[in-house]
Amino acid sequence: MGVLLQQAVNLLQLGSIYALLAIGFSMVYGIVGLVNFAHGDIFMVATYLLFFLATWLFSMTSSSFAVLLASTALAAAAIGLLAMIIERVAYKPLRGAPKVSLVVTSLAVGLLLQHLVLEFLGPNSQRVPRMVPDIKFTVGTVNFEFYQILIILFALFIMLLLNQFIRRTRTGVAMRAVSQDATAASLMGISKDFIISVAFVIGAAIATVGASLYGMAYPIFDPYIGQMINWWSFTAAVLGGIGNIRGAVLGGFLLAAVMVISPMVLPVSSYRDIVAFSVLILVLLVKPSGLLGKRSIQKV
Amino acid sequence: MNSKDREQKNQPILAVENLCVAYGKIKALKEISFQVYSGEIVSLLGSNGAGKTTTLNAISGIVPAQSGKIVFRGQNLVGMPTHKIVQCGIAHVPEGRRIFPELTVEENLHIAGYLFSNRNKPLLEQRMEYIFSLFPRLKERRQQAGGTLSGGEQQMLAIGRALITGGDLLLMDEPSMGIAPNLVEEIFATIQTINQKNGLTIFLVEQNAMMAMEISNYCYVLETGVIAHEGVSKDLMQDDSVARAYLGESI
Ligand SMILES: Nc1ncnc2c1ncn2[C@@H]1O[C@H](COP(=O)(O)OP(=O)(O)OP(=O)(O)O)[C@@H](O)[C@H]1O
Ligand SMILES: [Mg+2]
């Protein structure tokens, strides 16, 4: 029983992070139809930026909570801007080109970011400074840490905020309209270019929050973490139904469940990746559009 | 009104001059020219594949014009992106209605006010009320997802959406398509109402030639990308050769 509760906390913690990663991946696909494999390397750059910002901010204040909030907010804004610039420079000129060209371009952008970081900052791994107090709780036989609670609550807050934005605001409804029928949306006076920029900014900003939370749990990072993040984002997004934001959240928690539960029942913990991809293939066999995905409307 | 009166009016609100549109090697429109004057209902008739939808899409900037001019209130629209053309005052009810299936009826109408709803909420409310007075059925279904409406209700929603955008020129692409005859009459009556009461100029694409001619002042007949006939609706209706040759069995 204690073990189960312990693992439930781990699952929620991991699922929250996966969900935040998959949201941006899925949202960009929903609006532009682009499988953005630069997403993982954007996350990697975000992690480096968070690292430098946190180190710099700690030289000015000792309040770790203030450093956490300020570094996350500043990095989210900067990385959102970076994603917007990448879209303008690398993807926008390819609007209307075959999807394959776009996917290849996104892989190239990812590699470019990775090599830039390697060139200027080197291949060594680094450690994110600790920004949350090291508090442990014990409830019965269950041990969990303050940062785990923080990750879950922070992620939940971001997801609720995003949900309100998408449901209630004028720009949010416009995003949904564009993802359902971009031509009809332009006939309502909505600029697709603007909505695409918004999707890239929000997706990258949320991934940056994900990076900040991820760093609390797994503080070691290097220029190669992008690949792993890509596969998590991709798997979670596709599991839930790529293009669907709620699907991305569901896929994130499902992937976390596989990651947490399979080592408990399997002899070798490295089998969990095999299980994760088997689950993905199984879900896609049964429901090719993912769990919450709609049969895509072929756009003329 | 006859054609001479028409020419004596001053500037047309929309003047298309030698418009050419091609899809790859297929020439869909070959130097067509026509005018729409303020306050009119003008019909563009023609059989399948004649280029009617292409004409409307070129006006809205959905497909690019290869050459020619599309002048709306003195301004050439060629090369302008669709969302800017909407801002100039052209509303478009597209072929196949194209409502947002996963947005509710209310959200579909709200998003049509995208250009002004952040600055002028009361205007949006006022226009919504007007749409609901034209189509009370939509009001009952405010919270229903657009994709679950019947074909006729979707057409009402598509018209409502276009009206909310607030243009002075309304382009309509086959509003009667796939709709039961009695509802078609209702929709055509509504088209007349919005033309007469609101002074909206309407450019109507139809295959249902007889009904379209009955409500319109002037007609153009498109045949494989060229304008084969034009005239005041009443004259055109009398012209047997036109009727037999170009307007098919619907007469
Ligand atoms: N996206 C496209 N790509 C290639 N050809 C097209 C495209 N859209 C239309 N066409 C061609 O252009 C011509 C005119 O088509 P258009 O849709 O304008 O006809 P229409 O008069 O609206 O016909 P309908 O009454 O059937 O709607 C047709 O020959 C059609 O095959
Ligand atoms: Mg058509």
* Matching residue, tokens 């020419």: B7
Cα separation of B179 and B157, whole Å? 14
CB of B63 closer than 6 A to ligand 1?
A: no
The pLDDT value recorded for residue A140 is 81
The minimum CA-CA distance between A295 and chain B, rounded to whole Å, is: 12
For residue A168, the chain B residues in CB contact (below 8 A) are: none
| Contact partners, residue B202, CB within 8 Å, separation at least 6 | B40, B41, B42, B169, B170, B172, B191, B194, B195, B216
Mutate to test the pocket of ligand 1, among B23, B207, B208 (most ligand atoms within 8 A of CB): B23
Return the residue in A31, A173, A187, A192 with the most chain B beta carbons within 10 A, the one to mutate for interface testing. A187
Percentage, residues of chain B above pLDDT 70: 92
Q: Which domains does chain A have, with CATH numbers?
A: 2-286 (1.10.3470)
The pLDDT value recorded for residue A15 is 97
Mean pLDDT over residues A11-22, rounded?
96
Looking from the CA of residue B52, the nearest atom of ligand 1 is: 21
Summarised one tens digit per residue, pLDDT across range A281-290 is 888 888 888 8
Is the pLDDT score of A184 beyond 50?
Answer: yes
Distance B51 CA to ligand 1 centre (A): 6
For ligand 1, atom 22, the nearest C-alpha belongs to B53
The closest of A164, A32, A49, A162 to A106, measured between CA atoms, is A32
The pLDDT value recorded for residue B250 is 45
Mutate to test the pocket of ligand 1, among B19, B20, B26 (most ligand atoms within 8 A of CB): B26
Distance B92 CA to ligand 2 centre (A): 13
CB of B44 closer than 6 A to ligand 1?
A: no
Q: Within its chain, how far is the Cα of A198 from the centroid?
A: 16
Is A188–B94 a contact, with Cβ atoms under 8 angstroms apart? no
Q: What is the mean pLDDT of chain B?
A: 91
The closest of B169, B173, B223 to B195, measured between CA atoms, is B169
The pLDDT value recorded for residue A300 is 30
Specify the DSSP element, H or E, that contains A41.
helix A39-58
Mean pLDDT over residues A180-202, rounded?
97
The pLDDT value recorded for residue B41 is 96
The pLDDT value recorded for residue B244 is 62
Summarised one tens digit per residue, pLDDT across range B40-62 is 999 999 989 999 999 999 999 99
Distance B21 CA to ligand 2 centre (A): 14
Summarised one tens digit per residue, pLDDT across range A56-113 is 999 998 888 899 999 999 999 999 999 999 999 999 999 888 989 999 999 999 999 9
B114 → closest Cβ in A180, A189, A294: A189
The pLDDT value recorded for residue B249 is 47
A173 → closest Cβ in B98, B110, B165: B110
Q: Within its chain, how far is the Cα of A270 from the centroid?
A: 23
By the CB < 8 Å criterion, does B103 face chain A?
A: yes
Nearest CA in chain B to A191: B83
pLDDT band at B160 (very low <50, low <70, confident <90, very high): very high
* Matching residue, tokens 């430098």: A52
A186 → closest Cβ in B83, B99, B100: B83
Burial class (CB in 10 A: 0-12, 13-18, 19+), A163: middle
The pLDDT value recorded for residue A278 is 86
By the CB < 8 Å criterion, does B52 face chain A?
A: no
Summarised one tens digit per residue, pLDDT across range B100-109 is 999 999 999 9
